[in-house]
Amino acid sequence: MIYVNGNRLPKKLPPKVYIALNKPKGYICSSGEKESKSVMELFDDYLSGWGKLNPGLPKPRLFTVGRLDVATSGLIIVTNDGDFAQALTHPSFKLTKEYIATVEGTVGNRHLMAITKGTVVDGVHCTPDSVELLPRQPDMPRARLRIVIYALKRVRIGGIGGYRLPVDLGYMR
């Protein structure tokens, strides 16, 4: 038997759990902040019934793989498998990510060409893997773009006078 801080470690490990969640807006991808709603709260019922569905197995310690901003909705993976999470997030695995961006105004071919050609950000040429204008939907008055990228790093919050990540802090790594 092994004890840690007076608690006996279970003989059995929980099974690996993999959940694809369509994260709603208004939730954070963290379990530490109490002032905001965490996506982990969405699994309270699932985890509270764990013992009945999985007798003798310890409850898994779930976490999100990556993050989405509180104002963003979309795919987030929730798991207890650290190796799997590493394979999805580490740049060495070179997994692309696909986003749907809703934009103001009309998007024409010249706009798509400009986005596809990319832009230079602080001396580094950045281009998406692909850009596609999605068909208009009756319930969506604004244009939507499908953008596939290899890596995404936020470098500014707010407009021109907003907060910018300084280049000397590893800006484009």
Catalytic residues: 69
Residue pair 173/122 in contact by the 8 Å Cβ criterion: no
What 3-state class would DSSP assign to 114? helix
* C-alpha to C-alpha distance for 62 and 43, rounded to whole angstroms: 9
Neighbouring-strand partners of residue 38: 28
Burial 37-58, CB ≥16 within 10 A → b, else e: ebbbeebeeeeeebeeeeeeee
98 by DSSP, 3-state: which?
strand
Report the alpha-carbon distance of residue 23 to residue 28 in Å, rounded.
Answer: 9
Contact 101, 149 (CB under 8 A): no
- What is the C-alpha separation between 29 and 67, in angstroms, rounded? 5
